[in-house]
Amino acid sequence: MPTDASETDYAFDTGAADAVPQLHALEAFLDPITTGRIAAPLLSPDAPRCWEVGAGGGSVARAMAAAVGPAGRVVATDLDLTHLRPAVNLDVRRHDVRREPPPGDAFDLIHARLVLLHLPERRRVLRTLAGALAPGGWLVVEEFDCTAPLRVLTAPSDDAAKLFAQVTDAMLGILQSHGADLAWAQDVHAELIGAGLVDVDTVSHAQSWPGGSLGISLYGTNSRQLEPELLDAGLSTGQLEAFRRLLRDPGFAAMSYQFVSTRGRRRR
């Protein structure tokens, strides 16, 4: 994911203490989906050159490195390398995907998760990524579709459900103010085709998150990261504290955001 808000206007500070639980919650929810989407034949010792864009905590880059084996090479890039560690076949590089050329060319697999939706230059960046593929190489772009209101499944009261909606709506508003396109996930399929890729396909996933679960803790972590701006938006400290208590209530459950995974292949 993009990092270093001072350079990208990314809303979340990945150097903050809350960045670690935020990354863990995202990885727990998304890594099983991502690993299925990049599994063989996309990712194998026969496709040894990979680029993980906005590598975040590095879980996907490490999975790539394990899959391609010692003969392969994975480049993991991000603006903030705090959570990334190199390995025998895993290179870690500080890189701005908006301003710098790709860290190599002819990649067999390029993966970007929760990156482009935050970048105003998202369409240009996507075409740059597509242009860095080897013939037959795959580009996988994965984003949250944040256009639909988050559905509350069970709540201890109507007021609790309304509070959840109020805080999560305010958080989305802050992301938009930082340049995020909440509907970008719906456009990626057409953008990959427009970039000349073939065999383009899209899958989406959402699931219920009960109170106290690791998944739903993501909303609480996000609220702590964005607290100064949430207060500026008119929410009170008491409302934010009540929101976080609600997320720990086993009588509460809500749906996750819709996670959309789109991939396409460069012609041979």
User: What is d(CA 51, CA 103) in angstroms, rounded to the nearest whole number?
Assistant: 8
212, 250 in Cβ contact below 8 A? Answer: yes
What are the distances in angstroms from CA 75 to CA 4, 52, 85, 233, 250?
Answer: 19, 6, 11, 39, 41
Among candidates 31, 29, 88, which has minimal Cα distance to 58?
31
Task: Answer yes or no: CATH 3.40.50.1970 is held by domain 5-265.
Answer: no
- Give DSSP secondary structure letters for 21-74: HHHHHHHHHHHHHHHHHS-TTSSSTTS-EEEEES-TTSHHHHHHHHHH-TT-EE
- Residue 123 has what pLDDT? 98
> Tokens 């109170």, residue?
211
Q: SS3 for 158? A: helix
* Cis amide bond preceding 149, omega within 30: no
Q: What is the DSSP letter of 184?
A: G
Q: Which residues contact 93 (CB under 8 A, 6 or more apart)?
A: 75, 76, 77, 103
- Residue 11 has what pLDDT? 64
| Cβ count near 25 (within 10 Å) | 21
Among candidates 57, 62, 61, which has minimal Cα distance to 83?
57
User: What is d(CA 207, CA 91) in angstroms, rounded to the nearest whole number?
Assistant: 34
pLDDT by residue, tens only, the chain of 268 residues: 443 333 447 666 656 667 788 899 999 999 999 999 999 999 988 879 999 999 999 999 999 999 999 999 999 999 999 999 999 999 999 999 999 999 998 999 999 999 999 999 999 999 999 999 999 999 999 999 999 889 999 999 999 999 999 999 999 999 999 999 999 999 999 999 999 999 999 999 999 999 999 999 999 999 999 999 999 999 999 999 999 999 999 999 999 999 999 999 999 9
